[in-house]
Amino acid sequence: MSDDPVHVALLRGVNVGARRKLPMADLRAILTALGCEAVRTHIQSGNAVFRAPPGDWGVRIAQAIGARFPFTPQVMVVTRPAFDAIVSANPFADKDPGRVQIGVLGAPSATNPAALSALAAPDESLALTEAAFYLHAPSGIGRSVLASRAERLLDVPMTMRNARVAAAIAALAHEV
């Protein structure tokens, strides 16, 4: 196996409902065709880990998907150490991981957390770092106004995974 770094790719908005279908076997084939090694995927929501030299993998993967499917998803790619740092920085690690969302940011956000806090329900808690947005939504992510509007307020691309899925992706990345 190569000594190339391990990357984590998170695709936004694939396999949600009946639109933007992307079988994970096709995603693995696309990544392999791009020269990635040890490609593995986790569940059907567009999560992959792979070994490859440093590069602009988010753009390359999005373009390759767009060339083969009728959509081009946003693709956030971070190195395994960066993803580990995001997952381990979760300030709500003591909460139900199914009720905690981790939003990986495509770029640092200059947004004032007070603007986000204004949308939070009384039972919700949030935190923002340069790399991630964390939301504890005990009443459920589907009911959270903050979750639905956070990306617009942050004004950067973001894709969210619950803490349970994020931990599973991190574990998978350590198997590659």
Measuring CA to CA, how many Å separate 99 from each of 10, 102, 105?
Answer: 19, 10, 19
Whether 6-80 shares its CATH topology with 83-172 is answered yes
* Domain ranges (residues) in the chain: 6-80, 83-172
**pTM metric for this prediction:** 0.94
Q: Which amino acid is at 118?
A: A
Work out the angle at residue 44's Cα, subtended by the Cα atoms of residues 9 and 71, and round it to the nearest 5 degrees: 70
Q: Would you say domain 83-172 falls under CATH 3.30.70?
A: yes
Compute how many other C-beta atoms are within 10 angstroms of the C-beta atom of residue 37: 14
Given the structure tokens 């790619």, which residue do they identify?
Answer: 77
CATH of 6-80, one of 2.40.70.10, 3.40.190.10, 3.30.70.1280, 3.50.50.60: 3.30.70.1280
pLDDT in tens, 123-161: 999 999 999 999 999 999 999 999 999 988 888 999 999
Q: What whole-number percentage of the chain has pLDDT above 70?
A: 99
- Checking if the pLDDT of 98 tops 70, the result is yes
pLDDT in tens, 39-66: 999 998 899 999 999 999 999 999 999 9
Nearest to 53 by CA among 14, 5, 10: 5
Q: What whole-number percentage of the chain has pLDDT above 90?
A: 82
* Cβ atoms of residues 90 and 135 within 8 Å: no
Work out the angle at residue 168's Cα, subtended by the Cα atoms of residues 162 and 173, and round it to the nearest 5 degrees: 125
- Strand, helix or coil for residue 158: strand
